[in-house]
Structure 1
């Protein structure tokens, strides 16, 4: 074994640059003294451009907790933090695990930062957990909905029979109220159950569907909200139900519109973006090519307490909301073997539909 290890002729410099973990050395003035290739990729800069720049210059003012680093330097204490969100000046938000180690070299106090991006791993884990939870919640809702619908039919029928026996018109007003409220509850239950028709799949240009959604948004916003388009026109036709896909996108877009209006966001903007992703994992299955449809807004973001349950039925932060829009969008996307991913923080909320690109057999 020792002979085999000795035969690997790699310098420490080569080994550091082969690491996927970000390695950065800074001094107590936050001057960057060393970076490996992974760090350059994270900071999206080059080795020449990083000279004479301070570590915090890459982030928004509240993008990193400078006080944590200052306290560590002052007290010569190492620290480790998990799920640290780094907010970059270019608009990126990266989820990381971070370890800081203080040391002295030639009488100068320094800090070694080891940063590991965990966005993808966390998303895959969250997706698996949330999919199981959503399926369980969906089955519970289905069971409750059917249990509610059966007695509702009996109550409505009994009210109609009673109305025929009544001679006083004032009393008929109450039986009509029972019928109306029964119909309202039945309508709510039907919406909870989601679409009961099978998707009508056909080869569709998704940009034609998105343009219809854009037209509806444009009409609804009365030009108060700016709408931007960023399309990848190389995306081939997809085998989808265009009406279901349009409804899913509209539900998400309307959520964005309502968030922007209620927050009175200055320079409110919704961006419609499409891309292709290779080797995307959707519900535990890997697809060679997938189409991504993103709806992005610059609103206040999703409240932290709702992030993990935003696709559950009846979950909403709106005073008059039903909490069904995103749940229905998720159900419609499930019909296409797809998924919806969400990334949200103040000033940026991005819902992305992942749809597998299937080969078209002529």
Structure 2
């Protein structure tokens, strides 16, 4: 270990240099004597700047951590700090677990081995898993709502068809047709909520027919509260569109 601390290229150093765990070696005055590349990357520093310098002050922002490191020197007892937030640079904060272990070899000064494990990636994975679970819960809720929407639609549509047959005035069937068409459109919406989103069903659509459908919906909802002025150009050709989506846009 003495040879290692003096900077000799040894097997121990090569092993430490290839670790993904950040490792720092400190002397009994808490000055940095060595840090591996993983520590350089984690702490946004370099060996030339860190070696010989005191352990950065952000390790001592927590008074409990300061006392624990000092006790580690005095009592030669290791300790571990969980979820420590280190402000390694302006605007750059990391969260780590780190442990400090005393190393006391005969004839050599006491030194401390500090090992750090970044938690940022683990926290990001946890957040992503939470989002996935939330998405799954939302999807289950949407599917449940879609089922509840579909259940009464069949009854509404069937009742409108029976009413249409019983109406004495053929002009009144215009309103039952609106009920039937809207029930079918809601069923289509519910189907899209229940399964994979299907591509639009493009076909030739008369835009005036869609506009008239929307007009009937508005007049049914606001029979005395809205006036609609129509000025259609009958020379317009059919458009290639998804009828249900076009109606939704117009609404």
TM-score under structure 1 length normalisation: 0.34
Give the structure-2-normalised TM-score.
0.46
Higher strand share: 1
Structure number with higher relative contact order (C-alpha < 8 Å, ≥ 6 residues apart): 2
More helix by share: 2
Instruction: Decide which structure has the larger Cα Rg and report it.
Output: 2
